[in-house]
Amino acid sequence: MTKKLYVGNLPFNIQNNDLEQLFAQAGAVESAKIIMDRDSGRSKGFGFVEMGSEDDAQKAINDFNGYELDGRAIRVNEAQDKPRGGDRGGDRGGRGGRGGYRD
């Protein structure tokens, strides 16, 4: 079973294949993806790596959390599921936050 990891504080020059090669030292890598800014096309400084197993993922966390890469201490932890539905800080009741009954 694959395990998705969040990798933050990445150097802006790192590429997907660089990230994959680094994490392959900890075990089987299913995928490695740097998140890019859609407007500028530049790295946002974080990405995700899918490891082949729980054990490989834990080894990667242990080995690379705090690891210095091009002068930056990267952060590695288990990725959290992204909330669905575009929650922006409160329940608006489906009516744009204006409240009240409308005909």
* pLDDT (0 to 100) of residue 81: 84
Say whether pLDDT at 95 is over 60. Answer: no
Burial label, 88 (beta-carbon count in 10 A; 0-12, 13-18, 19+): exposed
Of 44, 45, 50, 54, which Cα lies nearest the Cα of 23?
A: 50
Residue 50 forms part of a structural domain: yes
Domain extent, residue 14, equals 3-71
14 pLDDT more than 80: yes
List C-alpha distances in Å: 100 to 80, 87, 88, 90, 97: 35, 21, 20, 17, 9
Domain with residue 30: its CATH number is 3.30.70.330
What pLDDT does residue 19 have?
Answer: 97
pLDDT, averaged across the chain: 89
Does 87 map to a domain?
no
Give tens-digit pLDDT for 34-78.
Answer: 999 999 999 999 999 999 999 999 999 999 999 999 999 999 999
pTM: 0.78
Q: In 3D, which of 71, 72, 82 has the Cα closest to residue 48?
A: 82
